[in-house]
Amino acid sequence: MRNLTYIGIASLLLFLCGCKDSSVSSVQPLDVMTFNIRLDAPSDSANNWKYRKDNVCQMIAYYQPDLLGMQEVCHNQMEDLKQGLPQYTALGVGRDDGKEAGEYCPIFFNTERFKLVEYGNFSLSEHPETIGVKGWDASYNRIATWAILEEKSNGKKLVFFNTHLDNDGKVARNEGIRLILNKMKEIAPHTPAILTGDFNCIPGEEPLQTLEDNEMKNAAKLATVAYGPSWTFHDFGRLPMEERVLLDYVFTTNEANIDRYRVIKDTPDNGFLSDHYPVLVKLTF
């Protein structure tokens, strides 16, 4: 009888351990990328989009981010990306008219992994419901695109925001970040959130501090493992090393564990992917 009791206890422990392992293994990491692809500008000559687009799509297909936020995407670039990345669902609008005019800040998500619950866009301005207006002291119209996504395997939801803060307006950058934080609370107040973007801020500037003060995690600072250069903007390799700066960021709400952070310095044989390097982060909620 004693032997049977021991066997029963051992079997129960093995069963419980198996359940625990199963629960842990069901938590899938998320790969999140932010990438300013540089708009399609004829003045870029050999660095024009038509010479870069295939390499950009190949790079993204190679790293297979689950979530991807991009900046400076013109409508023709949006169409090229949709065609070159059929495994993703693409969301976004042009910042000048809320349709196809002006740069997009699009979101791409892995269609096999996620389904779309809700999505929208707003301008970074005193009138966020009106796209096509400049906010505060900004030099350009600026927007944010967001999506609530549900993981198909377990029904868990997250909200993903992507943006591009103004390059000139200091007030616009500060107020734009505050607006995004308010929108997070309004759109999905109890949902894990991810924010990607070109913030046009170097480490230590006020918009980044505002995010941290509101319990957002900066992946560049908190990743368990970090790799690659400490900067992302290089102007197609023309900037001297000492002038290259970090402008592109991934932030998350406190629920996330930031496992890995990498600035991808890949350069094709025939030029550059962009005037920025992409950032890739692996995290778990």
- pLDDT per residue over 93-114, tens digit each? 999 999 999 999 999 999 999 9
Map out the domains of the chain with their CATH numbers. Answer: 28-284 (3.60.10.10)
How confident is the model over 133-153, as pLDDT tens digits?
Answer: 999 999 999 999 999 999 999
Rg (CA), the chain: 21
Cα pseudo-dihedral 259, 66, 172, 36, rounded to 10: 100
Q: How far, in Å, CA of 87 to CA of 111, rounded?
A: 6
* Predicted confidence band of residue 27 (pLDDT cuts 50, 70, 90): confident
Chain-centre distance of CA 55, in angstroms? 19
Q: How far, in Å, CA of 78 to CA of 93, rounded?
A: 10
Q: How far, in Å, CA of 141 to CA of 131, rounded?
A: 8
> Of 263, 101, 242, 255, which is closest to residue 190 (Cα–Cα)?
255
Average pLDDT rounded to a whole number, residues 151-169: 98
How confident is the model over 232-278, as pLDDT tens digits?
Answer: 999 999 999 999 999 999 999 999 999 999 999 999 998 999 999 99
Neighbour count for residue 165 (Cβ, 10 Å): 24
CA angle 165, 167, 168 (to 5 degrees): 120
How confident is the model over 40-81, as pLDDT tens digits?
Answer: 999 999 999 999 999 999 999 999 999 999 999 999 999 999
Average pLDDT rounded to a whole number, residues 198-213: 98
Do the Cβ atoms of 282 and 254 come closer than 8 Å?
no
Neighbour count for residue 24 (Cβ, 10 Å): 8
